[in-house]
Amino acid sequence: MTSADASNGRLPAAFLQAGSASFTEFVGAHAPHLIPGSRAVPGGVPIDAPHGTTILAIQYTGGVLLAGDRRATMGNLIANHTMQKVFTTDEYSAAGIAGTAGIAIELVRLFQVELEHYEKIEGTLLSLEGKANRLASMIRGNLGMAMQGLSAVPLFAGYDLAGDRGRIFSYDVTGGCYEETDHHSVGSGSLFARGALKKLWRSGLTRDEAIRVAVEALYDAADDDSATGGPDLGRRIWPTVALLDAEGARFVSAEQLEQVVTGVVQQRREEADPR
């Protein structure tokens, strides 16, 4: 803001000019230091920052869910036991974060504002493919940070109003966007989660069945990946699960997750010791 603008209390001229419906483009033009990928990182200096781990998405009849564990790691240490890794990004979509936690969360928060800004300017929701492509361009803008080890690779899912179905989109650090079918997983425990999903997923899953499959896949991932946190019955820490369908985006309640987790744990105990 210029001194003249500050003295008369008016907004800077940039705020009064017609432009695109992209909030990210506006910020990049007038305050680029606020964009996560535009910040300089000292070369040759190792940065220890918390990392998010396993995120998965599952298509079910009429929608899609996005789920994640709650653990964040920093090297061989557990940085956080209750980290939120799944965020609703608008009324019909959500994103789960993997990679450098601080960068990824800031990226998703900016994406939330991007979608809200578009809706206010255009008076309509951006299409699901449009949302996925917008997120891809924002990830591409973080490539410089990713090359220095501070990568952020979210998993995006949403309900397609035009197609009346749930859809899943994955990314790479260069901003490549890929639509996935049936299910997908990213993060350090994704290899084990995908193995479980391949065995447990089937066409025609109901919403409740998909929640159970998500919990089982995260349980398996935590069993083999130290960076993935399993359900903690003692401290009542459950995975985060978001549902995306014609009813909109919302989170599964802690009470329902506790019932599902308790059932999964009980079944595993019985399988391990059938006596």
Positions marked catalytic = 53
Distance CA 187, CA 39 (A): 24
Half-sphere exposure (Cβ direction) of 183: Cα atoms closer than 13 Å: 27
Q: Count the Cβ atoms, other than its own, within 10 Å of residue 212.
A: 17
Strands, E assignment, 41-154 = 51-52, 55-60, 63-68, 72-74, 77-80, 86-90, 93-96, 99-100
Residue (of 25, 26, 6, 7) closest to 16 by Cα position = 26
Tokens encoding 157: 């899912």
Residue (of 51, 84, 79, 80) closest to 66 by Cα position = 84
Start-to-end CA distance of the chain, whole Å, equals: 73
Are 54 and 85 spatial neighbours (Cβ–Cβ below 8 Å)? no
Tokens encoding 39: 């910040």
C-alpha dist (Å) from residue 242 to 26, 28, 53, 149, 252: 30, 31, 17, 29, 6
